[in-house]
């Protein structure tokens, strides 16, 4: 999964999970470690990414389909997971949730910090996330674009 905060990644990933994929979630792992605000620090981010990578590799080795529920906001972060998958014979497909800015901001404004998929994000931080997001391109590898045009 790939998209800015509020794009609907977790909802979409849960749909894939219902179809048999194992969902591993950055926000879920961070929440389990006690992190209730974003962004988390660099050390914590490395721990969470390491956990996601370990779970991904374990699932792939067991022959399970996996959906990684994370923003993958930069090409570098997506490339890191591609490099991890290459020796396993897996070419990841990026599902990019292309969500209108107004929807993103509305969704994030409604968050209440009630759980890992509801982390409160200030408007200022939300705008920084949106503006800093590096949209994936087909040159990176397999890409599926999901156009999100209405609130969930």
Q: Is residue 1 situated within a structural domain?
A: no
Q: Is residue 126 situated within a structural domain?
A: yes
Q: Is residue 2 situated within a structural domain?
A: no
Q: Is residue 73 situated within a structural domain?
A: yes
Q: pLDDT value at position 38?
A: 87
Among residues 15, 20, 11, 43, the alpha carbon closest in space to that of 30 is found at 43
CATH number at residue 26: 3.40.50.300
Q: pLDDT value at position 152?
A: 62
Q: How many CB atoms lie within 10 A of CB 27?
A: 22
Task: Indicate the pLDDT class of residue 30, thresholds 50, 70 and 90.
Answer: very high
Q: Is residue 144 situated within a structural domain?
A: yes
Q: Is residue 4 situated within a structural domain?
A: no
Q: What integer best gives the mean pLDDT of the chain?
A: 95
* Coil vs helix vs strand at 95: strand
CA contacts within 13 A on the Cβ side of 134: 11
Task: Indicate the pLDDT class of residue 150, thresholds 50, 70 and 90.
Answer: confident
Q: pLDDT value at position 127?
A: 96
Q: What percent of the chain has pLDDT over 70?
A: 99
Among residues 120, 94, 96, the alpha carbon closest in space to that of 108 is found at 120
Q: Is residue 42 situated within a structural domain?
A: yes
Strand 22-25 relative to strand 66-69, pairing: parallel
- Per-residue pLDDT tens for 126-138? 999 999 999 999 9
pLDDT, average across residues 112-123: 93
Task: Indicate the pLDDT class of residue 50, thresholds 50, 70 and 90.
Answer: very high
Stated pTM of the model: 0.92
Range of the domain at 77: 9-148
Q: pLDDT value at position 31?
A: 96
Per-residue pLDDT at 22 exceeds 80: yes
Q: How many domains does the chain have?
A: 1
Q: pLDDT value at position 104?
A: 95
Q: Is residue 40 situated within a structural domain?
A: yes
Residues 6+ apart with CB under 8 A from 33: 44, 47, 48
pLDDT, average across residues 1-22: 96
- Per-residue pLDDT tens for 68-101? 999 999 999 999 999 999 999 999 999 999 999 9
């Amino acid at each position: 999964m790939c998209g800015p905060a509020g794009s609907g990644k977790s909802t979409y990933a849960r749909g894939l999970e219902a179809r048999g994929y194992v969902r591993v979630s950055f926000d879920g792992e961070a929440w389990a470690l006690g992190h209730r605000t974003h962004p988390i620090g660099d050390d914590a981010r490395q721990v969470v990414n390491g956990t996601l990578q370990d779970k991904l590799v374990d699932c792939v080795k067991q022959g399970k389909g996996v959906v990684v529920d994370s923003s993958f906001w930069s090409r570098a972060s997506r490339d890191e997971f591609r490099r991890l998958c290459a020796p396993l014979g897996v070419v990841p497909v990026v599902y990019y949730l292309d969500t209108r800015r107004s929807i993103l901001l509305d969704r994030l404004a409604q968050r209440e910090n009630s759980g890992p998929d509801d982390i409160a994000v200030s408007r200022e931080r939300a705008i920084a996330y949106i503006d800093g997001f590096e949209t994936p391109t087909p040159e990176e590898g397999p890409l599926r674009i999901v156009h999100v045009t209405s609130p969930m």
